[in-house]
Structure 1
Amino acid sequence: MSILKRFISYYQPYRVLFFADMFCAVLVSAVDLAFPQILNFLSSNVFTQGRDVILSSIGYAGLLLLALYILKYFCQYFITSWGHIMGARMEADMRLDLFDHYQRLSFSYYDKNNTGEMMSRLVNDLFDVTELAHHGPENIFISVLKIAGSFILLLMINVKMTMLLFLVTLIMVVFSIERNFRMKAVFMDNRVKIAQVNASLQDSLAGIRVVKSFANEEVERNKFCKSNQDFLASKTRSYKMMGGYHAWNSLFTGLLYIAVIVAGGYFIAEGTLHVTELVIYILYINIYVNPLEVLINFTEQFQKGFSGFKRLTDILETQPEIIDKPDAVPLDQVRGEIEFHNVSFRYNNEDDVLHDVSIRIPAGKNIALVGPSGGGKTTLCSLLPRFYDVTAGSITIDGKDIRDLTLKSLRSAIGIVQQDVYMFSGTIKENIAFGKREATEEEIMEAARNANIHDYIMSLEEGYETFVGERGVRLSGGQKQRLAIARVFLKNPPILILDEATSALDNESERYIQQSLEKLSADRTTIVIAHRLSTIRNADEIIVITDEGIKERGTHRELISENGIYSNYYHMQFEGLESATPDYDQYR
């Protein structure tokens, strides 16, 4: 019932269109029901009269029927066009709601779910919802109206024959309900299997360069072939079930006509039914049977649309883990003093990635985090903008717990350049402007200059209007990195997080970018994650983090003189040592 209520709620913005559609449906049904009655009247009262009466009446009857069918034409046009438009609008609303909810879901959701499957719910699962939203109420309403109307009129002609008809109809209804429950599971399985096909396709195409570099096209083909065959098997099961379903209902429809012919012949022989009444009865049988067939076909349509909508509601009912508190306040007038108080964090039920970490970063200072991969450096920085919430402890900015702040104001105050740079499909200008949507062209160009990418952009034929391609495929790694840095220059936040921000740059570019980053970092709180230690020599404090927590902290000179982990790491990079990794165990 909760799913049904949610589905009905999407009709609310279009209730005028919905009721107009239903009104037209009533008129169409009335015209269909009126035709046999008009024919019955003409057969009984006009066609039995003389030539003059027939000729004087038939013209008026023709005009009446013409008017009725012209009315039906306009009503049918409205139902078919605007009824479907209403369904398409509802589908668009559902798709927008789902997209908005995807935007609200926390990183933890994306850690556990495949992008291709999420896209399938957004696109494929809603295809049949348009038909269900339009034809659902209309088919039920028209069919019930026609069945009830024709059934009453059939009773008026012959009660005994109509009760026999009702008995066969009851068997059809029971059969349809039983098959309906069985089809529900099959159509839901169809949705799951096509989502797996989309997931396999998305994964293969996103990594096509890796696939080709390893000459593993056949491996990816086999993976896709398996998901494709699973979907085919699921569709085959559904079509077999549909085939049996429609074949049995076709048989039941035939039984209706057999019952009418046999019973009609018997009643004519008994003298309780006239031949003309049987003809009219058969006309009403057509009106009676047609909506039955519509309802039977609608059962399949309903299960397809319902299974798609059910998968949509499964997502909409998933609550984001990171949300604003009811009394959350905006973060304003940011100084940038950050403090991690006894912070611990784990992903799901795994072991702690961070345990009892305490760091105080004064406003405007530049702090560098170094250490082996897996030590928790990136995780620590992901906690600051609340991509994840701490398992224990707290994080404050200017003395305010970040969980008491609105997410929008918190994340607006933090600029991030990540190691894995993402470029949106669009122009260079649009990608830089992502840092500040209302930025002027001059501001965008200034940001590019600060990131040492302006001259390169101007050398392109279309300059800032150059398309970068999907995920920035037309740019080198260093160029994408500098565009990402330009975004942050444009955003101009009081707090910076630089996660390997210069990792993809050559030495010359790194030198220019480092100067730009130092300029950007001035009077701003900056957290730098770095493996290339040349970028952090001038940091106010360097913190060495391993999987056992903070092991060393101090300035570059202080840590070099301690001859510990940082010193060992530094000498590996700048003195040509070929040891694979520092022996961290000796410092534990």
Structure 2
Amino acid sequence: MSNFKKILPFLYPYKKYAYLNIFFNVLYALFSTLSFVSLIPMIQVLFDQTKRNTTKPIYTGIWELKKYGENYLSYFITNTTDTFGVGYTLSIMVTVIISIFLLKNLFDYLAMFFITFLRNGILRDMRNTMYKKTLELPLAFFSEKRKGDVISRISADVNEVQTSFLAILELIVKEPLTIVFTIGMMFAISTKLTLFVFVFIPISGYIISLIGKQLKKKSGKAQQEQGTFLSTIEETIGGLKVVKGYNSENYFNTVFQNSTERYFKLSNSIGNRQNLASPASEFMGIMVIAILLWYGGQMVLIEKTLNGASFIAYMGLAYNILTPAKSISKASYAVKRGNAAADRVLEILEQENTITSKENAIEKTSFDNNISVQNINFKYENETVLKDFSLQIKKGQTVALVGQSGSGKSTIANLLTRFYDVTNGTISIDGVNIKDMNLQSLRGLMGLVTQDSILFNDTIKANIALGKLDATDDEIIEALKIANAFEFVKELPLGIYTNIGDSGNKLSGGQKQRLSIARAVLKNPPIMILDEATSALDTESEKFVQVALENMMQNRTSIVIAHRLSTIQKADIIVVMQKGKIVEQGTHDELIAQNGTYNKLVTMQSFES
């Protein structure tokens, strides 16, 4: 129930549907009971067992309600039969029974009608909240979680919460009230018989509960396994070139089939336990009915303490308990399965986001003086990536960070944009600690071009306009020209309205990178971060992209993380990094003259090329 309480806030916007559902469920439970009670006078008329009563009874209070009801019914039947005949009385009885059953089913439909809005509304809001939370969570979260597992939680697990866990909303009023009203009427007909039956109900309930044990644990494993095979799908489709290039189809096929086999076995085990719930509860119910027939039959035939018509209606009422009891037992298993899904959903929703804007954060809209990185340390899990790193970047400067892979260059870009937070030390812009700045305004000051051209399955215009959503076609074209990309875009069939496919796979590497640059150009930020923007390109593409980068970097503060040293010779300051520390810094000519680490890197690259 603790999980249900946590999901309850999603219910509040739809509480009017919950109230309407409860209202119609109360009416359904009432008319469900009345539908069996209405059979008593019908049977009495049919078998001429009605006690004759020609005197209209007088109501004397609630404690005499049962007696008053019986007397009034016998008076009505006696009076109507004497006046219009037994056929007319029977037709009235049939009309009443049909009306009660019609209203019962109408109320059942209306209760389900309103609960549908509530359940689907919760499903939509929960998905939206999870997706929003997924976008807000820091990058560190996704380096520990499989993407496919997160997708599984947003799609399959949320759906499981809606279909299974929220089944409790339908049952919390409808089925228990049906049982309560039915038992109340059973007590009214015969207290002795009802007390006798209730000796056996806890025993049958205990036997049914044994079936549901371990269901939550197995459901949790099944949902985890679903996340695993969804991850395999996502990874293999994304890396299909490598899979095919290394003839690894059989390997990945085996990985996927092993996962689906485990899911198959878990699903069978869960399904079979659930399927056992309904027949087990029905069998136990029939056992109770059989005991009723034996004991109640004695009361009718031997003790003469119960009349036949009342006993038949009583049997109908006893059977009327079976359907809601079956529903409750099935739902209790569904709730256990849904509870496991709710655990996985809530793990995302309750995940602490450590990288957020603090209260009353500073809104900074311009960059005026400098970026100051002072004595920063950064640890990723147990690995120290940066140690006592300090750097000053003045407005308008181009600063290049170079070094071997793993020296911490890209980490600087991730810390400046607050994708990660420093372990110790401070990063300031114009003297304001970036942790004190509003996160959106901080990132608004920066443009980012990464090594991997991250594009989306949409038009060229939509991809570039991420930097400025209200951009006109002319502004898009101007950004494309600066990024040296308009030459190839204008040749495309629909120009800037051409769809570039999944991850931009309809374009070459150089074309994709130039679109990434155009996106940064359109945003027009004062600080530009280029994280190995040309390292994945061939020499010809690199020339086009390099021209685009130089165009973009004019009159801007630029931080260039470079693998190819040919791209950063014009930088104002080149910072040479090794194992998270600065070992040299200066201009290209100064560093060559020092004949140190930088000179070795240049010599090695010249020799390789």
Paired residue for 1:10? 10
2:105 and 2:608 map into 1 onto residues whose CA distance is 86
The amino acid of 2:393's aligned partner reads I
Paired residue for 1:44? 44
Pick aligned residue for 2:349 from 295, 302, 316: 316
- Displacement of 1:376: 0.3
The one-character-per-residue Cα deviations of 1:551-575 (angstroms, maximum 9, x if unpaired) are 111111111122222222223333x
Pick aligned residue for 2:138 from 97, 106, 110: 106
The one-character-per-residue Cα deviations of 1:450-473 (angstroms, maximum 9, x if unpaired) are 111112111111222221111111
Paired residue for 1:30? 30
Alignment of 1:194-213 (within 5 A): 194-213=226-245
- Displacement of 1:247: 4.3
1:330 aligns with 2:359: no
1:548 and 1:328 map into 2 onto residues whose CA distance is 30
- Displacement of 1:87: 0.4
Are 1:168 and 1:255, in contact at CA under 8 Å, matched by a contact in 2? no
2:100 and 2:272 map into 1 onto residues whose CA distance is 41
1:548 and 1:141 map into 2 onto residues whose CA distance is 63
The one-character-per-residue Cα deviations of 1:251-307 (angstroms, maximum 9, x if unpaired) are 311211211111122222232233222211111112121111111111122122222
Are 2:395 and 2:556, in contact at CA under 8 Å, matched by a contact in 1? yes
Q: Which has the larger radius of gyration?
A: 2
Are 2:274 and 2:330, in contact at CA under 8 Å, matched by a contact in 1? no
2:166 and 2:95 map into 1 onto residues whose CA distance is 32
Are 2:289 and 2:319, in contact at CA under 8 Å, matched by a contact in 1? no
1:348 aligns with 2:385: no
Pick aligned residue for 2:456 from 424, 445, 448: 424
Paired residue for 1:259? 291
The amino acid of 1:517's aligned partner reads L
Paired residue for 1:372? 404
- Displacement of 1:234: 1.3
- Displacement of 1:123: 0.5
The amino acid of 1:428's aligned partner reads I
Local SS of the residue matching 2:366: coil
The amino acid of 1:43's aligned partner reads I
- Displacement of 1:181: 4.2
1:531 and 1:221 map into 2 onto residues whose CA distance is 36
Are 1:337 and 1:525, in contact at CA under 8 Å, matched by a contact in 2? no
2:462 and 2:92 map into 1 onto residues whose CA distance is 68
Alignment of 1:64-103 (within 5 A): 64-103=96-135
1:147 aligns with 2:179: yes
The one-character-per-residue Cα deviations of 1:294-353 (angstroms, maximum 9, x if unpaired) are 111111221222221221111111101212222321122222511110111110122x11
Pick aligned residue for 2:259 from 195, 202, 227: 227
- Displacement of 1:178: 4.4
Pick aligned residue for 2:316 from 283, 286, 289: 283
Local SS of the residue matching 1:526: strand
Paired residue for 2:222? 190
- Displacement of 1:481: 0.6
The amino acid of 2:291's aligned partner reads A
Local SS of the residue matching 1:459: coil
Are 1:47 and 1:54, in contact at CA under 8 Å, matched by a contact in 2? no
- Displacement of 1:174: 2.8
2:583 and 2:138 map into 1 onto residues whose CA distance is 31
- Displacement of 1:361: 0.6
Are 2:401 and 2:577, in contact at CA under 8 Å, matched by a contact in 1? yes
- Kindly report the root-mean-square deviation, in angstroms, between the aligned alpha carbons of the 2 structures: 2.0
The amino acid of 1:570's aligned partner reads V
1:332 and 1:310 map into 2 onto residues whose CA distance is 41
Paired residue for 2:57? none
1:488 aligns with 2:531: no
Are 1:544 and 1:566, in contact at CA under 8 Å, matched by a contact in 2? yes
2:440 and 2:545 map into 1 onto residues whose CA distance is 28
Paired residue for 1:564? 596
- Displacement of 1:62: 3.8
- Displacement of 1:16: 0.8
1:316 and 1:141 map into 2 onto residues whose CA distance is 28
Are 2:24 and 2:111, in contact at CA under 8 Å, matched by a contact in 1? yes
Most deviating of 46-55 and 255-264: 46-55
1:64 and 1:247 map into 2 onto residues whose CA distance is 33
Are 2:399 and 2:575, in contact at CA under 8 Å, matched by a contact in 1? yes
The amino acid of 2:42's aligned partner reads L
Q: Structure 1 regions of 5+ residues with no counterpart?
A: 579-588
Most deviating of 208-217 and 66-75: 66-75
Paired residue for 1:55? 87
Local SS of the residue matching 1:123: helix
Most deviating of 498-507 and 261-270: 498-507
Counterparts in 2 of 1:47 and 1:445: CA distance versus 1, 3 Å? farther
1:11 and 1:212 map into 2 onto residues whose CA distance is 48
Local SS of the residue matching 2:173: helix
The amino acid of 2:103's aligned partner reads L
Most deviating of 434-443 and 499-508: 499-508
The amino acid of 1:374's aligned partner reads G
- Displacement of 1:365: 0.4
Local SS of the residue matching 1:345: strand
Are 1:414 and 1:495, in contact at CA under 8 Å, matched by a contact in 2? yes
Are 2:32 and 2:101, in contact at CA under 8 Å, matched by a contact in 1? no
Q: What percentage of aligned pairs have identical amino acids?
A: 32
Paired residue for 1:168? 200
1:258 and 1:373 map into 2 onto residues whose CA distance is 79
Counterparts in 2 of 1:196 and 1:548: CA distance versus 1, 3 Å? closer
Are 1:344 and 1:354, in contact at CA under 8 Å, matched by a contact in 2? yes
1:515 aligns with 2:515: no
The one-character-per-residue Cα deviations of 1:1-55 (angstroms, maximum 9, x if unpaired) are 5422222222110111111111111222222111122221333368636594322
Are 1:340 and 1:395, in contact at CA under 8 Å, matched by a contact in 2? yes
1:540 and 1:54 map into 2 onto residues whose CA distance is 110
Are 2:483 and 2:515, in contact at CA under 8 Å, matched by a contact in 1? yes
The amino acid of 2:252's aligned partner reads E
- Displacement of 1:438: 1.5
Alignment of 1:466-477 (within 5 A): 466-477=498-509
Are 1:31 and 1:68, in contact at CA under 8 Å, matched by a contact in 2? yes
1:250 and 1:60 map into 2 onto residues whose CA distance is 34
Local SS of the residue matching 1:3: helix
- Displacement of 1:367: 0.4
TM-score by length of 1: 0.93
The amino acid of 2:257's aligned partner reads C
1:419 and 1:406 map into 2 onto residues whose CA distance is 27
Are 1:378 and 1:529, in contact at CA under 8 Å, matched by a contact in 2? yes
- Displacement of 1:512: 4.0
TM-score by length of 2: 0.90
1:212 and 1:58 map into 2 onto residues whose CA distance is 79
Q: Structure 2 regions of 5+ residues with no counterpart?
A: 49-77
The amino acid of 1:482's aligned partner reads R
Are 2:175 and 2:327, in contact at CA under 8 Å, matched by a contact in 1? yes
1:306 aligns with 2:339: yes
The amino acid of 1:572's aligned partner reads M
The one-character-per-residue Cα deviations of 1:68-107 (angstroms, maximum 9, x if unpaired) are 4443444333333332232011011111111111111111
